[in-house]
Structure 1
Amino acid sequence: MDLNKMNKNASAIMRHWDPFSIGSELYGREVLEVVAQLEVLDHPSELAKVIQTSYECSFGKWIPLEQCVDISYKLLALKFEAKHII
Protein backbone atom coordinates (compact mmCIF):
# COMPACT_ATOMS: atom_id res chain seq x y z
CA MET A 1 0.00 0.00 0.00
CA ASP A 2 1.41 3.41 -0.91
CA LEU A 3 1.25 6.57 1.20
CA ASN A 4 -1.66 8.07 -0.75
CA LYS A 5 -3.78 4.96 -0.29
CA MET A 6 -2.86 4.82 3.40
CA ASN A 7 -3.94 8.45 3.84
CA LYS A 8 -7.17 7.80 1.98
CA ASN A 9 -7.96 4.74 4.12
CA ALA A 10 -6.99 6.58 7.32
CA SER A 11 -9.27 9.47 6.33
CA ALA A 12 -12.12 7.02 5.78
CA ILE A 13 -11.60 5.51 9.24
CA MET A 14 -11.54 8.96 10.82
CA ARG A 15 -14.61 10.15 8.91
CA HIS A 16 -16.50 7.04 10.01
CA TRP A 17 -15.59 7.72 13.65
CA ASP A 18 -18.13 10.17 15.09
CA PRO A 19 -17.15 10.65 18.75
CA PHE A 20 -19.70 13.42 19.36
CA SER A 21 -22.55 11.94 17.28
CA ILE A 22 -22.90 15.13 15.23
CA GLY A 23 -22.31 13.71 11.77
CA SER A 24 -18.96 12.65 10.38
CA GLU A 25 -18.98 15.36 7.69
CA LEU A 26 -18.25 17.98 10.37
CA TYR A 27 -14.78 16.63 11.19
CA GLY A 28 -12.86 17.72 8.09
CA ARG A 29 -10.06 19.76 9.68
CA GLU A 30 -9.58 17.27 12.50
CA VAL A 31 -9.30 14.36 10.06
CA LEU A 32 -6.64 16.22 8.08
CA GLU A 33 -4.66 17.02 11.24
CA VAL A 34 -4.74 13.43 12.47
CA VAL A 35 -3.79 11.95 9.10
CA ALA A 36 -0.87 14.39 8.82
CA GLN A 37 0.39 13.33 12.25
CA LEU A 38 -0.07 9.67 11.38
CA GLU A 39 2.73 10.09 8.86
CA VAL A 40 5.21 11.12 11.58
CA LEU A 41 4.03 9.38 14.76
CA ASP A 42 4.45 5.67 15.49
CA HIS A 43 3.23 5.34 19.07
CA PRO A 44 -0.48 4.83 19.82
CA SER A 45 -0.46 7.09 22.89
CA GLU A 46 1.18 9.97 21.04
CA LEU A 47 -1.28 9.73 18.17
CA ALA A 48 -4.18 9.40 20.62
CA LYS A 49 -3.15 12.65 22.32
CA VAL A 50 -3.11 14.40 18.93
CA ILE A 51 -6.60 13.07 18.23
CA GLN A 52 -7.88 14.11 21.64
CA THR A 53 -6.38 17.60 21.44
CA SER A 54 -7.50 18.26 17.88
CA TYR A 55 -11.12 17.35 18.55
CA GLU A 56 -11.19 19.12 21.91
CA CYS A 57 -9.80 22.35 20.44
CA SER A 58 -12.38 22.33 17.66
CA PHE A 59 -15.46 21.32 19.59
CA GLY A 60 -14.70 22.22 23.19
CA LYS A 61 -15.57 18.70 24.26
CA TRP A 62 -13.25 16.17 25.83
CA ILE A 63 -12.89 12.61 24.49
CA PRO A 64 -11.56 9.98 26.92
CA LEU A 65 -8.02 9.04 25.94
CA GLU A 66 -8.97 5.35 25.82
CA GLN A 67 -11.34 6.04 22.90
CA CYS A 68 -8.60 7.94 21.11
CA VAL A 69 -6.13 5.10 21.70
CA ASP A 70 -8.59 2.65 20.14
CA ILE A 71 -8.80 4.67 16.94
CA SER A 72 -5.05 5.33 16.94
CA TYR A 73 -4.38 1.56 16.91
CA LYS A 74 -6.55 1.21 13.82
CA LEU A 75 -4.71 4.04 12.10
CA LEU A 76 -1.27 2.74 13.02
CA ALA A 77 -2.20 -0.72 11.75
CA LEU A 78 -2.82 0.91 8.36
CA LYS A 79 0.49 2.70 8.55
CA PHE A 80 2.44 -0.46 9.36
CA GLU A 81 0.64 -2.30 6.60
CA ALA A 82 1.62 0.48 4.20
CA LYS A 83 5.24 0.07 5.29
CA HIS A 84 4.94 -3.73 4.95
CA ILE A 85 5.95 -4.16 8.58
CA ILE A 86 3.07 -6.51 9.39
Structure 2
Amino acid sequence: METSLMNLLMADELNNWDPFRIGGGSYDPEIADAIQAVRELNDANQLAARLQSIYDFSFEQVIPFKECLSVAEKLLSIKNQGSCSL
Protein backbone atom coordinates (compact mmCIF):
# COMPACT_ATOMS: atom_id res chain seq x y z
CA MET A 1 0.00 0.00 0.00
CA GLU A 2 1.33 3.42 -0.89
CA THR A 3 2.14 5.81 1.93
CA SER A 4 -0.33 8.40 0.67
CA LEU A 5 -3.17 5.85 0.65
CA MET A 6 -2.18 4.62 4.10
CA ASN A 7 -2.19 8.22 5.40
CA LEU A 8 -5.64 8.81 3.90
CA LEU A 9 -7.01 5.66 5.51
CA MET A 10 -5.60 6.69 8.88
CA ALA A 11 -6.95 10.24 8.46
CA ASP A 12 -10.40 8.80 7.67
CA GLU A 13 -10.25 6.61 10.77
CA LEU A 14 -9.29 9.58 12.94
CA ASN A 15 -11.95 11.85 11.40
CA ASN A 16 -14.59 9.19 11.99
CA TRP A 17 -13.47 8.87 15.60
CA ASP A 18 -14.50 12.46 16.46
CA PRO A 19 -13.86 12.05 20.22
CA PHE A 20 -15.35 15.42 21.17
CA ARG A 21 -18.34 15.26 18.80
CA ILE A 22 -17.45 18.51 17.04
CA GLY A 23 -17.61 17.11 13.53
CA GLY A 24 -15.15 15.58 11.13
CA GLY A 25 -12.66 17.98 9.63
CA SER A 26 -12.17 19.74 12.98
CA TYR A 27 -9.05 17.81 13.93
CA ASP A 28 -6.56 18.48 11.13
CA PRO A 29 -3.55 19.40 13.34
CA GLU A 30 -4.25 16.49 15.69
CA ILE A 31 -4.62 14.07 12.78
CA ALA A 32 -1.27 15.17 11.36
CA ASP A 33 0.37 14.65 14.76
CA ALA A 34 -1.35 11.29 15.21
CA ILE A 35 -0.20 10.02 11.81
CA GLN A 36 3.35 11.09 12.64
CA ALA A 37 3.05 9.17 15.93
CA VAL A 38 1.93 6.06 14.05
CA ARG A 39 5.08 6.29 11.92
CA GLU A 40 7.24 6.49 15.05
CA LEU A 41 5.56 3.89 17.27
CA ASN A 42 4.68 0.21 16.90
CA ASP A 43 3.23 -0.44 20.35
CA ALA A 44 -0.52 0.11 20.78
CA ASN A 45 -0.21 1.22 24.40
CA GLN A 46 2.47 3.78 23.59
CA LEU A 47 0.49 5.05 20.62
CA ALA A 48 -2.68 5.29 22.72
CA ALA A 49 -0.82 7.36 25.31
CA ARG A 50 0.51 9.63 22.56
CA LEU A 51 -2.98 10.07 21.06
CA GLN A 52 -4.33 10.90 24.49
CA SER A 53 -1.59 13.50 24.93
CA ILE A 54 -2.09 15.04 21.46
CA TYR A 55 -5.82 15.57 21.95
CA ASP A 56 -5.44 16.68 25.58
CA PHE A 57 -2.92 19.33 24.54
CA SER A 58 -5.31 20.76 21.93
CA PHE A 59 -8.63 20.45 23.71
CA GLU A 60 -7.63 20.33 27.39
CA GLN A 61 -9.81 17.26 27.86
CA VAL A 62 -8.53 13.77 28.54
CA ILE A 63 -9.97 11.02 26.36
CA PRO A 64 -10.30 7.70 28.24
CA PHE A 65 -7.28 5.49 27.60
CA LYS A 66 -9.41 2.53 26.46
CA GLU A 67 -10.91 4.68 23.70
CA CYS A 68 -7.45 5.82 22.60
CA LEU A 69 -6.21 2.23 22.69
CA SER A 70 -9.01 1.09 20.40
CA VAL A 71 -8.12 3.77 17.86
CA ALA A 72 -4.40 3.05 18.22
CA GLU A 73 -4.99 -0.61 17.41
CA LYS A 74 -6.96 0.33 14.28
CA LEU A 75 -4.24 2.74 13.15
CA LEU A 76 -1.50 0.18 13.69
CA SER A 77 -3.54 -2.36 11.74
CA ILE A 78 -3.67 0.06 8.81
CA LYS A 79 0.07 0.68 9.15
CA ASN A 80 0.84 -3.05 9.24
CA GLN A 81 -1.31 -3.71 6.19
CA GLY A 82 0.61 -1.01 4.39
CA SER A 83 4.00 -2.45 5.28
CA CYS A 84 3.22 -5.97 4.08
CA SER A 85 4.56 -6.85 0.68
CA LEU A 86 4.38 -9.91 -1.52
For residue 31 of structure 2, what is the aligned residue in structure 1?
31
Unpaired runs of 5+ in structure 2? none
Offset, 1:2: 1.7
For residue 71 of structure 2, what is the aligned residue in structure 1?
71
Percent of aligned positions with the same letter in both sequences?
29
For residue 55 of structure 1, what is the aligned residue in structure 2?
55
TM-score by length of 2: 0.93
**In structure 2, how many angstroms separate the alpha carbons of the residues matched to 1:23 and 1:82?**
27
For residue 10 of structure 2, what is the aligned residue in structure 1?
10
1:21 maps to a residue whose letter is: R
Unpaired runs of 5+ in structure 1? none
Residues 42-72 of structure 1: CA deviation (Å, up to 9, x unaligned): 0001111111001011001110110000000
Residues 7-48 of structure 1: CA deviation (Å, up to 9, x unaligned): 111011101111111112211100000001111110001111
**In structure 1, how many angstroms separate the alpha carbons of the residues matched to 2:73 and 2:56?**
19
